[in-house]
């Protein structure tokens, strides 16, 4: 189902959409807006999946016995080494 609505854009957004239509990227400005909204929907779905995975990981880690914990020096060793190397070079 298609719904008609009125939207207002900044000059920058309008110009971009107009250029994209002229280049054939989108058939109409409405198609460009629809593509942008669809991308936002997909981004939000991906964000929700990532948040859910993070929550599961946190839950799993809270079930980890303290004796099995790794210190930050071990956990982040590769990141610390990369930071240090970037400061040297």
Summarize pLDDT for 36-70 with one digit per residue, the tens: 999 999 999 999 998 998 898 888 878 888 888 87
Tell me the domain boundaries of the chain: 11-88
The model's pTM: 0.65
| Token code pair at residue 85 | 């190397």
By CB atoms closer than 10 A (0-12, 13-18, 19+), residue 17 is: buried
Distances in Å between the Cα of 29 and the Cα atoms of 4, 18, 43, 45, 68 are 13, 7, 21, 24, 56
């Amino acid at each position: 189902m298609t719904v008609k609505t009125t939207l207002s854009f900044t000059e920058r957004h309008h110009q971009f959409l107009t250029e994209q239509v002229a280049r054939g990227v989108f058939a109409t400005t409405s198609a460009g807006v629809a593509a942008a909204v669809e991308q936002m929907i997909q981004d939000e779905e991906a964000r929700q999946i990532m948040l859910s995975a993070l929550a599961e990981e946190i839950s799993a880690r809270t079930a980890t016995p303290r004796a099995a914990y790794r210190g930050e020096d071990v956990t982040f060793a590769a990141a610390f080494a990369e930071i240090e190397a970037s400061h040297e070079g």
